[in-house]
Amino acid sequence: MKEKYLINARIIDPKNKIDEIGGLIIDSNGLIKAVGKKVANGNLPSSAEKIDLKKQVLIPGIVDMRVFVGEPGYEYKENFRTLSNAALSGGVTSVVSMPNTSPVIDNVSMVDFLKRRGRDKSRINIFPAATLTKNADGKQMTEFGLLKRKGIVAFTDGIKTVQDPQVMSRIMNFASQSESLIMQHAEDNILSNGGLINEGEISTRLGLKGIPFLAEKIIVERDLSFLEEYFCRYHISQISSEKTISVIKKAKNEGKIFTTGVSINNLSLNENDIGEFRTFLKLSPPLRTENDRQSLVKAINDEIIDVIVSDHKPEDEESKRLTFSQAATGATGVETLLPLALELFHNKSVKLNKLIASITSNPAKILGINKGSIEKGSDADLCVFDLNKPWVVNKNKLKSKSKNTPIENRKLQGQVLKTFIKGELAYERI
């Protein structure tokens, strides 16, 4: 690859606190060689290949900490190739893949398979997560040390929660030895049993069994109590309720060290969007009240929540064309993560640098990967977007294999123009 020059861009790199017009040089190995104001037309050799970004925004490639792939076992919902295309069109260059496949990712041989498939079929960086427990059944912990050595960046039972407190306490106690990252989907299964949407007026009106906020809060409280005794790298995958935020705030004030994520869905939608049984909005954690949503948005601004994820969960039409209680849970979102997040900037809820940090530098830091920043020596994984371009979501134009977007026909502002992986132009909007 020849050296590449990107010039005249608005570079936003939260990690290095940069927000300025400038350019960058990508060396022949796809690494960033130089970045800043000085990388401009006048200072560069006239013969060099220059890409003028016309003051569009240039950010580090997005790191999405919660994505479901479908391989192995559910290739008809999403495979590595379709996921890669979807992610690139949304400026996402790195994803953490959830282990809830069939079979689940709970042993070393599965990791080899994933890495090979990921490498051969996709252009994005796949960082696989393995389960916390064998078969994700919450009983026997997996081989954290061995799996981590094979390249597993995080451990989570994905859509499931370790229910047994003894198992969870031992997991947290043991994981510190290998410095493994534990990610918990916080939901008490007994409290949420049979629940379909947020417990409240809407669940009463629709006659659907509710999921109380307590189901989430209780697990967060439990795990944070364990954290005091068994310190480990602990991350709460996504939270949904204002009450959980209070718990987190309190624990942070007490000096506990852990991180928290939130799904873009819980920041952009609320329970009213379910309307008359729209199964595409059947999500886990459930969409809650407008008050909860606003509190979550504020928590991003206050840096109580560190990460925004897409919680990209492709489901085929057959799994959604059912009654609400029978329909599958989850929605796609990897390709609309950035534009939907930008809505929070445009409506003046969250500062732009905080939004960008929550999808680039923060997740990279939590995962301990060399991504999410634009600095000399780092991989030139980049996303270029038009901050203001208006467009309308049309599920048929989205690239994911499954079409279960929760924001069909939504008017968005901000669109990804180019995505680079290791300096190579991997996606360009035509």
Partner 1 sequence: MAVIKKLKAVKLEQNHLLGIQDLSFSQVSDILKQAKTFITLNKSSSKKIDILRGKTQINLFFEPSTRTQSSFELAGKRLGADVMSMNIVNSAIKKGETLIDTAMTLNAMHPDIIVIRHQDSGAPNLLSQKVNCAVINAGDGRREHPTQALLDALTIINRRGKVEGLKIAICGDILHSRVARSNIYLMNMLGAEVNVVAPKTLLPHSIERLGVKSFTNMKKGLDNCDIVMMLRLQNERMQGSFLPSAREYYEYFGLTPDKLNLAKKNALIMHPGPMNRGVEIDTNLADDINRSVIREQVELGVAVRMACLKIFCKRR
Which of 203, 310, 378, 402 contacts partner 1 by CB under 8 A? 203
143: its two tokens: 């081989």
Closest distance to partner 1 from the beta carbon of 276 (Å)? 6
What's the rounded Cα separation, in Å, for the pair 387 and 384?
9
Examine residue 200 and tell whether it contacts partner 1 (CB under 8 A).
yes
Shortest reach from residue 101's CB to partner 1, in Å: 23
Q: Should residue 206 be labelled a site residue for partner 1 when binding is judged by CB under 8 A? A: yes
Which of 325, 394 has the CB closer to partner 1? Answer: 325
Nearer to partner 1, 289 or 362 (CB): 289
204 binds partner 1 (CB under 8 A): yes
Q: Interface with partner 1 includes 243 (CB under 8 A)? A: no
- Examine residue 249 and tell whether it contacts partner 1 (CB under 8 A): no
The answer to whether residue 54 forms part of the interface with partner 1 (CB under 8 A) is no
Q: Which position has the token pair 């060399």?
A: 370
Q: Which lies closer to partner 1 via its Cβ, residue 65 or residue 196? A: 196
Nearest to 155 by CA among 92, 268, 231, 234: 234
Q: State which residue, 7 or 327, has the beta carbon closest to partner 1.
A: 327
Check residue 199 for interaction with partner 1 (CB under 8 A).
yes
- The C-alpha atoms of residue 186 and residue 77 are separated, in whole angstroms, by 25
CB 359 within 8 A of CB 35: no
Residues 261-290 as x/- pattern, contact with partner 1 by CB under 8 A: ---------------xx-------------
The one segment of 65-73, 191-199, 373-381, 404-412 that binds partner 1 by CB under 8 A: 191-199
CB 68 within 8 A of CB 313: yes
Q: Is 425 in the site for partner 1 (CB under 8 A)?
A: no
Closest distance to partner 1 from the beta carbon of 275 (Å): 10
Q: Which two tokens stand for residue 261?
A: 């994520």
Nearest distance, CB of residue 317 and partner 1, angstroms: 10
Task: State yes or no: residue 326 binds partner 1 (CB under 8 A).
Answer: yes
> Would you count residue 379 as binding partner 1 (CB under 8 A)?
no
Binds partner 1 by CB under 8 A, chosen from 323, 377, 396, 430? 323
Q: How many CB atoms lie within 10 A of CB 40?
A: 15
- Residue 311 falls in the annotated catalytic set: yes
Measured CA to CA, the distance from residue 195 to residue 185 in angstroms comes to: 16
Amino acid in position 362: N
Cβ-Cβ contacts under 8 Å for 285 (sequence gap 6 or more): 186, 187, 211, 216, 238, 239, 240, 241, 263, 266
Q: Is 349 exposed, middle or buried (0-12, 13-18, 19+ CB in 10 A)?
A: middle
Strand partners, 278: none
Residue 260's SS3 state is strand
| 139 alpha-carbon distance from chain centroid | 27
R_g of the chain computed on alpha carbons? 21
Closer residue to partner 1 in complex, CB, 140/325: 325
Residue 241's nearest CA partner among 274, 212, 209 is: 212
Instruction: For partner 1, give the closer residue by CB, 37 or 321.
Output: 321
C-alpha dihedral sign at 123, 124, 126, 127: positive
Catalytic choice (64, 157, 306, 311): 311
Rounded to the nearest whole angstrom, what is the least distance from the CB of residue 274 to partner 1 in the complex? 10
Q: Which of 201, 228, 302, 428 binds partner 1 (CB under 8 A)?
A: 201
Which range in 43-51, 248-256, 263-271, 317-325 contacts partner 1 by CB under 8 A?
A: 317-325
Give 223's strand partners: none
Kindly state the number of chain residues that form the binding site for partner 1, as judged by CB under 8 A. 22
Question: Shortest gap between Cβ of 172 and partner 1 (angstroms)?
Answer: 29
Label the pairing between strands 57-60 and 382-392.
Answer: antiparallel
Rounded to the nearest angstrom, the gap between the alpha carbon of residue 89 and the centroid of all alpha carbons in its chain is: 15
Provide, rounded to whole angstroms, the least separation between the CB of residue 244 and partner 1: 18
Query: For binding to partner 1 (CB under 8 A), which residues are involved?
Result: 193-194, 199-201, 203-210, 276-277, 318, 321-326
Q: Catalytic positions, please?
A: 311
